[in-house]
Amino acid sequence: MSIVTVKSRKALSLAGKELYSCLWSPVFYGIAVFFLLFTGVWLFYFQRYFTLNQASLRPWFAAFPLAFVLVIPVITMRSWAEEWKTGTAELLLSMPFSEWDLVLGKYLSAMGIVTALLVLTLPLPFTLSGLGNYDAGVIAGEYLGALLLASSSVSLGNLLSSLAKNQGGAFLGCAAVLLVVTMLAQITQSLSLPPALAGFLSFFSLAFHFESFSRGLLDSRDLAFFILSTALFLYLNTQTLLYRKWR
């Protein structure tokens, strides 16, 4: 049995344990209700979907980055902050798990919750499909973009949770940082910065890279950004654990 297989099994077992406890928590159902209501109200009230007269869910998916700013911190705030507060982090670090096992386990658990939230949204496009000629390929690309956006956001949220002392601090810190990195492109536009500087700063905006996916377009640059940013945040998370372990 290869080392990679063993490590994968360890991470999956940790993720399964975390995911099981989260799915039986009332917090998950509160998050699910909020997410569905937020995106639904955004589409039908703020965007006035039925007056747009177009078979496109782009206005609906455009709400996902902002919804994740509020949802992801709730999902990730307890991943490490609660472990440090209760002292169970030291127990985890003393067990036969590497830092990568622990980080991947927390990441996969949070991504499992986000995936469940996205699955709960599927009835809406299926219901609206009877009202127009929707492009299934475009909708699939939009869901892929939502998963990639969530991946970067979750890995960043877990990293910030590992730096926080309690859940409250983890939530506020993650929400603030996610809001900035998500809306960075809009912020730079409002500041009337030079085009070169605005373009450079916009490159680090999560919403900027999600925009092509929200139109159903698969851009390799945006795909690479989400994958590399996820890997970077996961790596920094392992380094944070090592630092706190040997401090």
CA distance 156 to 24: 24
Q: What SS3 string covers 144-176? A: HHHHHHHHHHHHHHHHHHHHCCCHHHHHHHHHH
Give per-residue pLDDT as tens, 49-101. 888 878 889 999 999 999 999 999 999 998 888 888 777 777 777 777 888 99
| DSSP state letter for 204 | T
What value does the mean pLDDT take over residues 177-193?
86
Backbone conformation region of residue 238, classed left if phi is above 0, alpha if psi is from -120 to 50, else beta:
alpha
Averaged pLDDT score across all residues of the chain: 87
- Dihedral of CA atoms 71, 76, 77, 81 in degrees, nearest 10, equals 180
Instruction: Find all residues with CB under 8 Å of 27, minimum gap 6, and list them.
Output: 74
Put simply, whether the predicted model's pTM sits higher than 0.85 gets the answer yes
The secondary structure of 105-127 as a DSSP string is HHHHHHHHHHHHHHHHTTHHHHH
Structure tokens at 185: 């492109």
Burial class (CB in 10 A: 0-12, 13-18, 19+), 82: middle
CA distance 74 to 178: 12
- In the predicted structure, residue 8 carries a pLDDT above the cut 80: no
What value does the mean pLDDT take over residues 132-138?
85
Question: C-alpha angle 27/33/37, rounded to 5°?
Answer: 145
pLDDT at 91: 78
Give per-residue pLDDT as tens, 108-130. 999 999 999 999 999 999 998 87
